[in-house]
């Protein structure tokens, strides 16, 4: 058993920033950070385009960034939260610059940052480090965490479930008031043992769930564990139907997991979406063309692929300056070249891929969940910022802003919370080692097929019903395995992904309209009122 003041599950931008801020303010607190594989592997590390923040007040303003975020969110953003994130964002970005994060400077004026543009933004406001912004932020945060003596970072520690009154024998439901979190049961892969970590407060910062689809830009760790854990603990979730597909993942006929992203910043620099034959098509869908918000562009590409019977569409970068392209997008350039595509001479083949989950654990303006002593931060949350569709490069910003707010709230309450006594150890009686790994891997493949075929960019009542029926079968089979075999990360991840798939499909079936990222052929119009999907 481990006892700690603060347990943070996840070491991406959300988890590490929360940990660093708490550690700096309260060197007397023990802060335990868990990461399920190695500490570098997170969605954060893969972020390419950058971080959106109002920077040049001569051309930009908070009002413009707020308006762009609300417009992308299609009427479903929480305006108060949008204002908080946009207005506090620049200060939080300055903090990580002080901690050592590098952002590219302007070619002509080295005193100023080079501000990029992405879909849905009315001004250039994206700070970036080449096409490796997330990697640079992750590097900074990890280096700083290493210097903080009161942060203990455990790699290969896989959180299985949150501990609540349920583990003391009480029956809880989603209507039970005052559910409390006491920490988590965790599979320590270094010892192959299940530990109990008891904490005064717990922060879930477990990132996204892109691995629920066949094609995704998310790394293999993105299996929605935190969202599924909070759902099992009877916490409140919201907006799970809003799954963002990035319009331009690199089409690779050999298949790869994750799919490689061709950043929207490439379109921000002037690249244009075209058919294989070199015809532009985005003007037929939105006057902003290739830089319309993501939901519109992804749906347009999906439609063009279906109408034309093509496996991919293309991004034309041939008119862009070669030296600038190589300097801003070295990773994208190298990746294309490795597949025999020269972005300066050839069209880049692209397809939409699952990229970001806008819904998740419902939190308030200081990151509190519906469960006492449990906070959530980052992509696993639904703060109200993104509404029905996230504006590009607002996610890293959300992580920074909410990490700050969560740390302030924890500082206010932590001295009045005691670590809970009398929690039982994990019960692994009557379980055996899994005999056939194929039972897990095959179910995982089936799950991805179900979600990609029936709960993708375009949905319908019939498709959603098919998905839900098939998911029920997978759920029952996997639950049986879970009850009888020794736990492995793969089995836990499968179980979590089935929960995520169910939550997405169920929320989608409940929404009788098309809005933002949720489009259904049965209800193609928007409802005139706001109807939240709460689970």
Give residues in contact with ligand FAD (CB under 6 A): 9-15, 34-37, 42-44, 46-51, 133-134, 157-159, 205-208, 217-218, 221, 225, 261, 356, 378-379, 393-396, 399
Of ligand SIN, ligand FAD, none, which one does residue 43 interact with (CB within 5 to 8 Å by kind)? ligand FAD
Residue 315 or 467: which CB sits closer to ligand FAD?
315
Which residues carry out catalysis? 294
Tokens of 232: 């099992």
CB of 529 to ligand FAD, least distance (A): 29
* Residue 34 touches which of ligand FAD, ligand SIN, none (Cβ within 5-8 Å per kind): ligand FAD
> Measured between alpha carbons, how far is 495 from 443 in angstroms, rounded to an integer?
10
Least Cα distance to 311 among 244, 247, 253 occurs for 253
- Alpha-carbon span 199 to 181, nearest angstrom: 8
Beta carbon nearer to ligand SIN, 196 or 457: 457
* Burial class of residue 223, CB neighbours in 10 A (0-12, 13-18, 19+): buried
Shortest-Cβ-distance residue relative to ligand SIN: 49
Residues 237, 240, 245, 251, CA torsion sign = positive
Cα 466–chain centre separation: 26
Q: Could you list the residues that contact ligand SIN (CB under 6 A)?
A: 48-49, 263-265, 355, 392-393, 395
159 binds, among ligand FAD, ligand SIN, none (CB under 5 to 8 A by kind): ligand FAD
Closer CB to ligand SIN, 9 or 47, in the complex: 47
What is the three-state SS of 389-401?
A: CCCCCCHHHHHHH
* Cβ-based nearer residue to ligand SIN, 45 or 505: 45
Of 183 and 509, nearer to ligand FAD (C-beta) is: 183
- Locate 132 and state its tokens: 């490796």
Contact 348, 272 (CB under 8 A): no
- Look up tokens 């703060």; give the residue: 383
Please state the closest distance from residue 471 (CB atom) to ligand SIN, in A.
27
C-alpha distances (whole Å) from 319 to each of 196, 276, 287 are 57, 17, 21
- Closest distance to ligand SIN from the beta carbon of 242 (Å): 14
From the CB of 148, what's the least distance to ligand FAD, in Å? 17
- What does the alpha-carbon distance between residue 46 and residue 395 come to, in Å, rounded to a whole number? 12
* Residue 343 interface partner, choices ligand SIN, ligand FAD, none, CB cut-off 5-8 Å depending on type: none
Q: From the CB of 320, what's the least distance to ligand SIN, in Å?
A: 16
Query: 398 is written with which tokens?
Result: 């959300």
């Amino acid at each position: 058993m481990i006892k700690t003041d603060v347990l943070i599950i996840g070491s991406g931008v959300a988890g590490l920033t929360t940990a660093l801020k708490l550690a700096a303010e309260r060197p007397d607190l023990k802060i335990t950070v868990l990461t399920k594989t190695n500490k570098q592997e997170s969605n954060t590390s893969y972020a390419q385009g950058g971080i959106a923040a109002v920077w040049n007040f001569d051309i930009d303003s908070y009002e413009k960034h707020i308006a762009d975020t609300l417009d992308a969110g299609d009427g479903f953003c929480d305006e108060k939260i949008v204002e908080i994130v946009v207005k506090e964002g620049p200060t939080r970005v300055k903090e990580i610059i002080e901690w050592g994060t590098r952002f590219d400077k302007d070619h002509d004026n080295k005193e100023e940052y080079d501000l990029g543009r992405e879909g849905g933004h009315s001004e250039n406001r994206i700070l970036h480090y080449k096409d490796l912004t997330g990697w640079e932020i992750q590097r900074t945060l990890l280096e700083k965490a290493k210097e903080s003596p009161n942060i203990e970072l455990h790699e290969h520690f896989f959180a299985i479930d949150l501990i609540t009154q349920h583990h003391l024998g009480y029956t809880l439901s989603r209507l039970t008031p005052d559910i409390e979190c006491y920490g988590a049961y965790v599979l320590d892969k270094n010892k192959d043992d299940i530990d109990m970590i008891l904490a005064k407060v717990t922060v879930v910062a477990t990132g996204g769930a892109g691995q629920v689809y066949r094609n995704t830009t998310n790394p293999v760790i993105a299996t929605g564990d935190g969202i599924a854990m909070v759902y099992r603990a009877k916490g409140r979730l919201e907006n799970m139907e809003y799954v963002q597909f990035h319009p331009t993942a690199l089409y690779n006929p050999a298949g790869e997991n994750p799919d490689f992203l061709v950043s929207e910043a490439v379109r921000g620099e002037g690249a244009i979406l075209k058919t294989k034959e070199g015809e532009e098509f985005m003007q037929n869908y939105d006057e902003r063309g290739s830089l319309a918000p993501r939901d519109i562009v992804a749906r347009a590409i999906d439609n063009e692929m279906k109408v034309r019977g093509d496996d991919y569409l293309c991004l034309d970068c041939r008119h862009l300056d070669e030296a600038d392209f190589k300097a801003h997008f070295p990773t994208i350039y190298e990746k294309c070249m490795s597949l025999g595509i020269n972005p300066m001479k050839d069209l880049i083949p692209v397809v939409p891929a699952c990229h970001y989950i806008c819904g998740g654990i419902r939190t308030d303006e200081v990151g509190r969940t519906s469960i006492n002593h449990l906070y959530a931060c980052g992509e696993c949350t639904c703060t109200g910022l993104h509404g029905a569709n996230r504006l590009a490069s607002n996610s890293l910003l959300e992580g920074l802003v909410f990490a700050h707010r969560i740390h302030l709230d924890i500082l206010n309450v932590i001295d009045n919370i005691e670590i809970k006594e009398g929690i039982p150890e994990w019960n692994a009686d009557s379980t055996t080692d899994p005999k056939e790994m194929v039972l897990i891997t095959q179910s995982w493949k089936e799950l991805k097929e179900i979600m990609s075929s029936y709960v993708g960019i375009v949905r319908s009542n019939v498709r959603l019903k098919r998905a839900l029926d098939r998911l029920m079968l997978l759920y029952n089979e996997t639950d049986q395995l879970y009850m009888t075999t020794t736990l492995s990360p793969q089995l836990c991840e499968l179980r979590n992904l089935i929960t995520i798939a169910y939550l997405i499909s169920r929320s989608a079936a409940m929404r009788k309209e098309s809005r933002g990222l949720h489009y259904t052929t049965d209800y193609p119009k928007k409802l005139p009122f706001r109807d939240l999907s709460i689970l």
